Amino acid sequence: MAIDLISYSLVPLFAALIIPFIPRKHRRITEIIANITLLSGIINLGYVIIYYLVLNDYTSYTSDAFTTLMLFTIYLVGMAITFFSTYYEVEKDTNFSSYYSLILVSVSAMCSLVMSRDFFTLYIFMEALSVCSFALITSDSKTFSIEAAIKYFFLTFPASVLIIFGISLLMINYGTFDFDTIKFTSMNFLTFVSLSFIILGFLIKAGIVPFHFWTPDVYEGSYSPVSAYMAGIVTKVGGIYAIIKIVMLLSSYGFGSNLSKLLLFTGFLSVFVGAIAATVQKNMKRMLAYSSISQMGYIILAAATFSPIGIIAAVFHLINHATFKTVLFLNSACVEKSTGTTNMDELKGLEHRMPWTSWTSIIALFSTAGLPPLSGFWSKLLIILALWQSGHIFYAVAALIASVFTLAYFTIMQKKVFFGKLPEKFNDIKEAKYQLLIPVVVISLIIIFTGVFFNRVFPYFERILS
């Protein structure tokens, strides 16, 4: 484990353990503790990252740029969700007894996950993360959320089985789990099989086609800020991060053309299935779930090229997608709070009453579709470049065509929900409270700035590979 960053995972853990000792009626203190913990983490990390970007001198702090970046993303999304949930209450019987503790524990688990340097630690923290997410999904007491949690459990536990099976096969071969040991020794059939099992397990956890059956129900059914949390960071850190790490190991050896083909095909399927299925959805959250599947497919496509530029593209798209989906899901939560429904057939013309929500949603969806000069354009460009340079022309063209689909369904959503004439029954809805909008606006600004100042951000990503 990377020792120097360990405080980032210990502090939320301590905060989570303190929270139950606060009596139930002082809920405000609970919220303050949760928010302050994450806020301090993110200010610290923000300083570190800007220090890297501006002064270009990173060797004095820590030698791993990727971990720091992932930590920053985790804290960013966690902070956004915590701040959002503090002001979000929709029904009176949402269960807050351990909500903040669970979020803090899951943030801690995710931080330890990205800091782990061997497979077994990765597995442990991934399990901790899954356990926390089961409970978080059920935070509002509707039956649909309980069903979603049960589905999540049943459909991802084969993933855990596969992962531990792969890890044990790896143990037979090497006697140890470390990333470093595996990186530099020779590749044989057993290692290949075990790594494939592990990748398969993580693919299921990430919600890639054809293992995606849990994703729409879970995102649609869970409590709204938790959907944003799951889509924004849990499926990423719990799923795609490990795949990228394994690809980095394999690519440093220059290996794997058939595995590459399989992953490319899976990514391609995800991109298209997600995009096509998203066009006919009636519920906003379900559509966003399919869109997440599609974007995860892009990340897998990039990572599957096993080339340096592909890995950079995958990491960048991972972080970008965390920001886009957080904004979109939080916006849908605002809409749900103001109007009481997320059914796109009933919603119309909300732009007149909720301009901020509408405009940040436009920024996020333009970025997802890949319009310059937002950050999504750069990451899509890198993905298509990586595919083209490694010779997979068909996939590059397919990724481009799928961008059109992405733009299509998002524009449909935007038009249906936000533009148009306001119907009578929505005449006195108000804009979401400003506190609910703050995280959304901050993340939108990050999207814009990362896109516009991309030439400063890019060298940082190149350092990830070293």
Partner 1 sequence: MNTNTNISNLILIPILIPFISAFLILLISEKTKYLKEVLSIAVALLCFIASITLLRLVGENPIIYQIPWLGYREMMAFRVDHLSAFLLFAVSMFSTLISIYAISVKNKGYSKIFYFLLLLTQSAAAGSVLSDNLIAMLFFWESMVVFLYVYIYISGEGYAVRKAALKTFLINGISDIAMMIGIVIVGYISDTYLMSSISSNKLILSGWGTIAYIMLLIGALTKAGAFPFHTWIPDAALNSNAAFMAYIPAAIDKLLGIYFLARISIYLYSLNTTMQVILMAIGAITILVAVMMALVQSDYKRLLSYHAVSQTGYMILGIGTLNPIGIAGGLFHMINHASYKSCLFMTSGAVERETGTNDISKLGGLFSRMPVTAICFIVAAASISGIAPFNGFFSKELVYKGTLASGWTLFFYAAELGSILTLASFLKLGHSVFFGSCPENLKDTKEAPYSMIIPMILLAAICIVFGFGADIPVSKFIEPSLSSLGVVVGNIELAGFHTDSLFIIFLVVVIIAVTNHIIGFRLSGKAYKSSDHIHHAPVLKETYAMADKGYFDIYEISRYIFAYFAGIMFKVDRFFDKLIDDIPSAITRWASEQLSRLQSASYRVSMFFIFLFIAIYLLYLGGIKWQ
Partner 2 sequence: MIFYLLIYFIIVVAAAMAIMSKKLLNSAVMLALLSIGISILLFAYNAPWAAVFELSVCAGLITVLFISAVSLVKNDEDALKEKRVKYTVFPLMLVGFAVIASIFVPEYFANLFQFASFNPSNNPPLGDMIWLYRGFDIIGQITLLAASIFVIKHIFTKETKNEH
Contact positions vs partner 1 (CB under 8 A): 150-151, 154-155, 158, 162, 187-189, 192-193, 196, 200, 204, 210-211, 213-214, 216-217, 257-259, 262, 273, 276-281, 352, 355-356, 359, 405
Q: Closest by alpha carbon to 15, among 93, 95, 102, 74? A: 102
Residue 97 binds which one of partner 1, partner 2, none, with CB within 5 to 8 A depending on kind?
partner 2
Q: Could you tell me which stretch among 170-178, 201-209, 236-244, 288-296 binds partner 2 (CB under 8 A)?
A: 170-178
Residue 192 binds which one of partner 2, partner 1, none, with CB within 5 to 8 A depending on kind?
partner 1
Distance in angstroms (rounded) separating the CA atoms of residues 105 and 110 = 9
Site for partner 2 in 186-205 (CB under 8 A): 188-190
Which of 5, 33, 42, 128 is in the footprint of partner 2 by CB under 8 A?
Answer: 128
Distance in angstroms (rounded) separating the CA atoms of residues 369 and 351 = 21
Residue 355 binds which one of partner 2, partner 1, none, with CB within 5 to 8 A depending on kind?
partner 1
* DSSP code string of 28-63: HHHHHHHHHHHHHHHHHHHHHHHHHHHH---TTT-S
For position 17 contacting partner 2 by CB under 8 A, the verdict is: yes
For position 105 contacting partner 2 by CB under 8 A, the verdict is: yes
Q: Which is nearer to partner 1, 156 or 368 (CB)?
A: 156
Residue 1 binds which one of partner 1, partner 2, none, with CB within 5 to 8 A depending on kind?
partner 2
Dihedral sign for Cα 338, 339, 345, 350, please: negative
Least spacing, CB of residue 210 vs partner 1, in Å: 4
Q: 3-state DSSP call for residue 283?
A: strand
For position 93 contacting partner 2 by CB under 8 A, the verdict is: yes
Per the CB < 8 A criterion, the answer to whether 264 and 392 are in contact is yes
Residue 10 binds which one of partner 1, partner 2, none, with CB within 5 to 8 A depending on kind?
partner 2
**Cα atoms found within 13 Å of the Cα of residue 45, Cβ hemisphere only:** 27
Dihedral sign for Cα 52, 57, 59, 65, please: positive
User: Interior CA angle at 433 toward 432 and 434, to 5°?
Assistant: 115
For position 97 contacting partner 2 by CB under 8 A, the verdict is: yes
Identity of the amino acid at 351: E
Q: Which is nearer to partner 1, 29 or 161 (CB)?
A: 161
* CB burial of residue 154 (10 Å; 0-12, 13-18, 19+): exposed
Q: Which is nearer to partner 1, 158 or 308 (CB)?
A: 158
Least spacing, CB of residue 131 vs partner 2, in Å: 5
Residue 13 binds which one of partner 2, partner 1, none, with CB within 5 to 8 A depending on kind?
partner 2
Per the CB < 8 A criterion, the answer to whether 414 and 362 are in contact is yes
Per-residue buried b or exposed e for 327-336, using 16+ beta carbons within 10 Å of the residue's own CB: bbbbbbbbbb
For position 91 contacting partner 2 by CB under 8 A, the verdict is: no
Q: Classify residue 90 by its DSSP letter.
A: -
Least spacing, CB of residue 441 vs partner 1, in Å: 11
Which of 171, 276, 446, 448 is in the footprint of partner 2 by CB under 8 A?
Answer: 171
For position 116 contacting partner 2 by CB under 8 A, the verdict is: yes
Q: Closest by alpha carbon to 366, among 332, 327, 333, 313? A: 327
Distance in angstroms (rounded) separating the CA atoms of residues 14 and 209 = 37
User: Interface with partner 2 by CB under 8 A: which residues?
Assistant: 1, 6, 9-10, 13, 16-17, 20, 93, 95, 97-99, 101-102, 105-106, 108-109, 112, 116, 120-121, 124-125, 127-128, 131-132, 134-136, 138-139, 141, 169, 171-175, 188-190
